[in-house]
Amino acid sequence: MSSWRAIAMAILLVTGPTLLAGEIPSDARRSGYSFMGPDTRAMQDDDTANPGMLFVLDGEQLWKKTIGTADKACADCHGDARSSMKGVAARYPAFDKALGRPITLDQRINLCRANHQQATPLPYESRDLLALSAFVGHQSRGIPITAGDDPQLKPFVDQGRDLFMQREGQLNLACTHCHDDNFDKRLAGAPITQAQPTGYPLYRLEWQTLGSIERRLRSCMSGVRAQAYDYGSPELVALELYLMSRARGLPMETPAVRP
């Protein structure tokens, strides 16, 4: 499948007409939801049909569960997530003063586990980490994204923008070639979106599970035959920050559903 996607991408960009639009103007930015067919939209809109909601429910239970040598739950510090976590995911990645750099919501969860619950950090893409991230993210559903507003984040946003525009891999393509220049087209039958990360972690039908934006970015890198950055790397965090900052003002949808 990844080989077919890579070949299809190369054919699309070499033989198909390109928009060469550069960065998308703020007032023209659209959620990936707007590119979906009616069946996918209906699945996302109905909480009883959205498979990502199973992770949200698991995350709610994990939120209340005491863990670690501190024998504490997330709820012991943060209380009812419906109020304490409202709008939080819309601000991430956020600047961490102690580390002097931005961190993702997944990284914040693991820092809380290590520092406050004295528990082992959860592996990237593990079900429990995705569930907690989905539960926290779900509390911001419908709230506009504000990530990147902090002036301390500017150099990291710029780094993410540079990476988004940078050609890489054996196919010598950049993220911008698909998501700025060729959105509204199709690749291997799937719609090409503007890469606005409004619904992560989201349920991808191709994966048959929930996944983070880092998983999606790594998949795209593999598709252009580039060496994917490690989970949690500064490069992936910067890319996520740039994408979230350019989606500023669009409402959160966690957990979204995509093909």
Q: Encode 155-166 in three state secondary structure.
A: HHHHHHHHHHHC
Dist CA 185 CA 162 (whole Å): 24
How many CA atoms are closer than 13 Å to the CA of 208, on its beta-carbon side? 0
- Cβ distance 73 to 65 under 8 Å? yes
Tokens of 251: 């409402």
Q: What angle do CA 139, 67, 65 make, to 5 degrees?
A: 45
Dist CA 23 CA 157 (whole Å): 14
Dist CA 11 CA 207 (whole Å): 24
Instruction: Please give the model's pTM, rounded to 2 decimal places.
Output: 0.91
Dist CA 184 CA 69 (whole Å): 51
Q: Which residues contact 181 (CB under 8 A, 6 or more apart)?
A: 18, 19, 20, 21, 22
Dist CA 245 CA 154 (whole Å): 10
- Cβ distance 121 to 241 under 8 Å? no
Q: What is the pLDDT along the chain (259 residues), one digit of tens a residue?
A: 444 455 455 545 443 444 344 688 989 999 999 999 999 999 999 999 999 999 999 999 999 999 999 999 999 999 999 999 999 999 999 999 999 999 999 999 999 999 999 999 999 999 999 999 999 999 999 999 999 999 999 999 999 999 999 999 999 999 999 999 999 999 888 899 999 999 999 999 999 999 999 999 999 999 999 999 999 999 999 999 999 999 999 999 999 999 9
Q: Where are the beta strands (DSSP E) in the chain?
A: 94-96, 101-103, 186-187, 190-191, 202-204, 209-211, 257-258
Tokens of 12: 């699309």
202 - beta bridge partners?
A: 211
Give SS3 for 96: strand
| Active-site amino acid positions | 220
> How far does CA 51 lie from the centroid of its chain?
17
